A and B are shown apart, each in its own frame.
Chain A
Amino acid sequence: MRAIETIMSAVGTDDLVLSTTGMISREVFATADRPGNFYMLGSMGLLSSFGLGLAAMVPGRRVFVLEGDGSALMSLGTLPLIAVESPSNLVHVILDNEAYESTGGQPSISAEVSLADIGRSCGYRRVAEVSDAEGIGAAMAECADGGGPYLIVVKCSIAPVEGIPRVSLSPVEIRDRFKACLGGR
């Protein structure tokens, strides 16, 4: 299963996609680069809070946060904050391969703790745990109605893509292109 490719194929033209540091941003960039993508090159754990702020700023557009289990675990406090602030346009996707793939596949603790259960107990409006392309497709279709915040936990394998390039845009280029896409000054 190619999780990122499947997710990106279900993203609409106006949707905003934020991706976390490491392999996830590199794979999103290589698979489906577009002006509505924001690549967080560093700051592991920060993406979900940035996504929360952005969802509040642009309530008319869906905001996808794509991060890994390591990143979600690092900022676990942001999950209840998202649930409490409850932006209906936020779709929080955790690609859970139970490992720190970007640094060599060291195990994370998510093999023994359910991020979906954590999301439910935090109070996300809807939570799905999926493990194949069909499941991703169904979850992506369900979150089209703006009744979020949604949490989609994608249980996936460690599947490094050989020779995947780094994001070739500079940080300021990423910023400016994304800002222009939002119509900001």
Chain B
Amino acid sequence: MDSQVFCQTLKARGLRFFAGVPDSTLGRTYTAIAEDPEIRYVPAVREDVALGVASACYFTGSLGGVLMQNSGIGNVINPLTSFNLLYKVPALLVVGWRGVGGEPNDAPEHWIMGAKTAEMLDLLGVPYEVLDGEDAETKLDRLLAAIEELSIPGVLLVQPEVLE
């Protein structure tokens, strides 16, 4: 999927505010979002900071987005468990999935989290969809519906080489 198209798809669903930490899996999506004059992008210094910033959107009636890599999931566990899931404050997390399936995929530092990413989200009770190139819009809409229904964050796990 072309990153510009993906960015427009997010915008068309009302996402106009993102915070994040860049990831190569998300490719040009980062650039498309950061350079879009209709989107405010905050270059957060950590993933938990990005989630804190983006969570503010909910309080004025919109949905905030986070861009990050799955290695940063560890950094968002505390805000998720003692803020977003507790207070029921939603956000859309677009997460680059490095090391899908674990060793030997990707670089060694991604093997363990790469293998555990989906399980980690299951354990936390956070809804997610996997973007692997098929039915991107359907998956995004299903995830956004879950986010709205549960009023908690949801994760779009983006596999490598899906976004160009």
Q: Could you tell me which A residues sit within 8 Å of B by CB distance? A: 40-50, 52-54, 56-58, 75, 77-78, 80-81, 84-85, 171-172, 174-175, 178-179, 182-185
Contacts and interface: CB of A to CB of B under 8 A. Distances in A.
Given A52-B42, A81-B44, A178 B49 contact: no
B55 A53 contact: yes
Nearest to A79: B45
Interface in B41-88: 42-46, 48-61, 64, 78-79, 81-83, 86-88
B60 A78 contact: no
B3 to A, nearest CB: 24
Contacts, number: 100
B89 interface: yes
A43 B83 contact: yes
A184 B57 CA distance: 10
B56 A54 contact: yes
B interface bracket (residues with beta carbon within 8 Å of A): 20 to 34
Q: Which of B40, B56, B83 has the most CB of A within 10 A?
A: B56
A1 to B, nearest CB: 30
A46 B58 contact: no
A49 B49 contact: yes
Contacts of B50: 49
B89 A57 contact: no
Interface of B: 17, 19, 40, 42-46, 48-61, 64, 78-79, 81-83, 86-89
B87 A50 contact: no
Contacts of A78: 45, 49, 52
28 contacts: A41-B82, A41-B86, A42-B81, A42-B86, A43-B79, A43-B83, A46-B48, A46-B51, A46-B78, A49-B44, A50-B52, A50-B53, A52-B56, A53-B42, A53-B56, A56-B17, A56-B42, A56-B53, A57-B56, A57-B60, A75-B48, A81-B43, A171-B86, A172-B88, A178-B59, A179-B59, A182-B59, A184-B58
A171 B83 CA distance: 9
A184 B59 contact: yes
Q: Which of A53, A54, A56, A57 has the most CB of B within 10 A?
A: A53
Nearest to B50: A49
A171 B49 CA distance: 20
A157 B61 CA distance: 40
Contacts of A47: 52
Given A49-B53, A53-B52, A56-B17, 15 more contacts: A46-B52, A46-B78, A47-B52, A52-B42, A53-B53, A54-B56, A58-B60, A75-B49, A77-B46, A81-B43, A85-B42, A171-B86, A175-B87, A182-B59, A184-B61
